[in-house]
Structure 1
């Protein structure tokens, strides 16, 4: 994994990373038209998820029996700075996890019970290889179908986002060293084996280079989460994987299209719907590398055509998102979806399907609303997980378009 995004003193008010991303359109549970609350990342219960069918199964799952659950015994370090302490559980998630957080957030995490069935091989469909110009990467060892799970990873380290801005850097280094050194030896080694690209204090550099933002449910709950197994996934502006982090802190990654043997498995660190110059500036200035993915290395003519499509997507999205707009039309929805498909944005298409479903319902077209609501649910399960608000909302719309609040609000003649 390359460096993640940081805005102030390397501490992003937005996701650092790779997963919970520095924009509202990708993965986990970003803001959407159905909710006014951004950054809701409590997505689903954590069980083994291998395919879309397994994710759908979780939609009706509302708890776990006590049998077969992982132990949840934490040790607390006596050395704290202000409200931030180190907590370690050598058995949590089956491998061990350390926290640098507040007592209230530790209590939230300490209440999580993880079924043993979640712990399955991360690399049974792929292997780690050296990727020219990228370092290590993950490559498919067999054909992978859309919807297949690639891995379910658990955090080795969770660090409260605000600790970096509220504590002197020397105190943070002390806590970071303690947190990693308290991990079981294999878990500590897996953390230290990751690459840091920003320099300075090694353990902190690894965190900033290989982290996802994780929320636990309120404004004081945002943490940087390091998932060593997921850190091998490199960036692509048109990736073949999507991911989400569920309410039990498990990082799930699934294929969003069919993948051939030998193909690198990738995720997107940034908003791939931006034009090339913006994507390049973002990766260069915030992530520490210039993206050389196939989409960023198109010819000038092809890149210009792509940028034109992306600008058109942004413009149309603005119209369709304004439910009072008089300019929107079924033809505009069709063009919007055509552009999305042409641009290869399969990893981040659930929101587009949602917007199409809502607008068709606004126009009183139940059949098309149902079609796109079902597509939104299918994509949303891969991108955001079964507990995401828009997945539930689109499932409701698909079940009965005419009973949904959006039905026939602006019939189009």
Structure 2
């Protein structure tokens, strides 16, 4: 599955590995993004999330090798008053008339060869009628019962600091109507769909070898069908590769990784406002095979287009199921608001290839349109960034001047959102050498930057706050593990 990245694990692991000698994989640096409110509105999801027993998927029953699973067996410790999702074990024939969406359960084999029962849980009335559908197992739905919404979720400022416009070659886009300052909130939304990552592992992962692809797709189709009509319209406005199944393709191309706080539990989420809109005039089919066209102008077509040097940053708050988008830099009136669909710290050739292969367009952003000499210079800086990051992580470099050089490379490349990582490296480098004021300086810069990419209640912020408040008490301070080669032995 092609996914946009939302994880804050990279920066957390970076700080932990710098001070506790834990290893951070190079893959996390290449593919991940460092990624976080107001008083919570408790019980905002106090609606029925109702599973249905596995039956009649594509005309045939799909059984669980271990027998039926009782949905109510999952996490029944909370009372009904505090539960976010109240589960009912009702078969389809016993569904209340007010619950109109059809849901299916289906059985897949995970990578560990243990059978798991996946259900679609729908709550069409939550989030002010926006609705949500979740595909997961009965034993994992309990986590979502405790979710509460942020008060301002799914609402824009009045008037919003942007407007929709036709963007040549891009379909619809959002353009700033006034000066937007770094840190200003653009919007915050809950997902329409959440899919358990285990559904895509091994036998549940869309591989044809398990012969369950029709049932697997049926789960996704029913998750969409369970949404309110307006939210379904937003889903069908998303880009989907023409050669793929209309539902599956849109989910693949537009899903984000969601870290739900348990490092062993990952989900994929779909947020239409920060997903990929279809290009102007592009025709595609909905689930009924009807041709649709994006030339219509409606509220569902609000989209943030891609830029390899985006001016927005985002994070996912797993406490409220909310995706927050803020300005990563000052944005003047008339400028388009953009995010990145990919890891932009890659050379131009790789960025353009990934965008063309996955989303079907040739990137013409300012960074990809540089004159050849400037593009080559940019690629050299990006290669240097990747090399230094790998060296810091492997313990080959500890020098504070080299860490500050890394920061300068990030700035020259206008990598606004990932700057928190470079700032954190500089802070810990000075911390190792016992430089109090310099540690404070870089730790506070990292803290401010991470607010936009990790969120104020994240583990990243807690660790950076400790470093910024009392660096001499942090584990990195004059670390005895540091030797002449810098971070060797620390596993950064």
Q: TM-score range by the shorter chain?
A: 0.7 to 0.9
Greater mean deviation of Cα atoms: 358-367 or 189-198: 189-198
RMSD of Structure 2 on Structure 1 (CA) = 2.7
C-alpha distance in 1 between matches for 2:165 and 2:474: 49
Give unpaired runs (5+ residues) of structure 2: 17-21, 54-103, 108-116, 205-211, 276-302, 485-492
1:33 and 2:69 aligned:
no
Equivalent residue, structure 2, for 1:370: 440
C-alpha distance in 2 between matches for 1:150 and 1:277: 31
C-alpha distance in 1 between matches for 2:448 and 2:355: 30
Equivalent residue, structure 2, for 1:207: 251
C-alpha distance in 2 between matches for 1:157 and 1:331: 45
1:358 and 2:428 aligned:
yes
Compute the displacement of 1:387 (Å). Answer: 2.7
- Could you tell me whether the CA contact under 8 Å between 2:33 and 2:418 is conserved in 1? no
2:120 to 73, 78, 86: 86
Equivalent residue, structure 1, for 2:331: 259
Task: Return the TM-score normalized by structure 2.
Answer: 0.70
Compute the displacement of 1:115 (Å). Answer: 4.3
Greater mean deviation of Cα atoms: 234-243 or 177-186: 177-186
C-alpha distance in 2 between matches for 1:106 and 1:198: 33
C-alpha distance in 2 between matches for 1:74 and 1:195: 28
Structure 1's 116 and 314: CA in aligned 2 closer, same or farther, altered over 3 A? closer
Cα deviations across residues 2-39 of structure 1 (Å, max 9, x unaligned)? xxxxxxxxx25xxx12x42xxxxxx6443531245888
SS, match of residue 47 in structure 2:
coil
- Could you tell me whether the CA contact under 8 Å between 1:155 and 1:250 is conserved in 2? yes
Structure 1's 220 and 359: CA in aligned 2 closer, same or farther, altered over 3 A? closer
Greater mean deviation of Cα atoms: 151-160 or 224-233: 224-233
2:308 to 223, 237, 241: 237
1:301 and 2:345 aligned:
no
Compute the displacement of 1:198 (Å). Answer: 4.2
Cα deviations across residues 354-411 of structure 1 (Å, max 9, x unaligned)? 0000001111111111000000010001011123323211111111111111112359
Aligned 1:7-406 pairs, distance under 5 A: 11-12=1-2, 16-17=3-4, 19-20=5-6, 28-30=8-10, 32-35=13-16, 44=36, 47=37, 64=40, 66=42, 69-78=44-53, 79-82=104-107, 83-94=117-128, 95-121=130-156, 124-164=160-200, 165-167=202-204, 168-218=212-262, 221-231=265-275, 232-247=303-318, 248-323=320-395, 325=396, 328-406=398-476
Give unpaired runs (5+ residues) of structure 1: 1-10, 21-26, 49-60
- Could you tell me whether the CA contact under 8 Å between 1:90 and 1:184 is conserved in 2? yes
Cα deviations across residues 216-264 of structure 1 (Å, max 9, x unaligned)? 2446632221112222111111100110111121000110100011111
C-alpha distance in 2 between matches for 1:391 and 1:184: 36
SS, match of residue 346 in structure 1:
coil
Structure 1's 268 and 117: CA in aligned 2 closer, same or farther, altered over 3 A? closer
SS, match of residue 187 in structure 2:
strand
Greater mean deviation of Cα atoms: 350-359 or 242-251: 242-251
SS, match of residue 460 in structure 2:
helix
SS, match of residue 200 in structure 1:
coil
SS, match of residue 99 in structure 1:
strand
- Could you tell me whether the CA contact under 8 Å between 2:106 and 2:119 is conserved in 1? yes
How many residue pairs get aligned? The number is 373
- Could you tell me whether the CA contact under 8 Å between 1:362 and 1:406 is conserved in 2? yes
Task: Choose 1 or 2 for highest CA Rg.
Answer: 2
Structure 1's 206 and 314: CA in aligned 2 closer, same or farther, altered over 3 A? closer
Structure 1's 41 and 269: CA in aligned 2 closer, same or farther, altered over 3 A? closer
Compute the displacement of 1:141 (Å). Answer: 1.6
